[in-house]
Amino acid sequence: MGIMLLGFMAVGFAIVYRVMRDAPPPTIAETVTIPAGAQVLSSLSVDGTIQVTYNAGGAVMLAVFDASTGELRQRTEITVE
């Protein structure tokens, strides 16, 4: 009985592993838009967002885009005190 239970558990783990391994990768936007003439300082893909830091007209800005659509969620200016 114990060996049969271990066999069922092994089959269950194998099925879960195959399903998780074969899952399609998340979609990521092909392009995001920043102002013309801006210089990109860095970009990251974090928790379903694309975060771009850029210099535009002497101001350093952080733009947060939705990773799947490329839509701008938030724009913040970074200043020094």
- pLDDT tens digit string along 43-77? 999 888 999 999 998 899 999 999 999 999 999 99
Domain limits of the chain?
2-78
Closest C-alpha among 73, 75, 65 to residue 29: 65
Distance CA 81, CA 62 (A): 17
Which residues make beta-bridge pairs with 66?
Answer: 49
pTM higher than 0.75 for the full model? no
Q: Which tokens hold the place of 78?
A: 């970074």
Distance CA 25, CA 53 (A): 25
Residue-wise pLDDT tens digits, 25-43 = 778 888 999 999 999 999 9
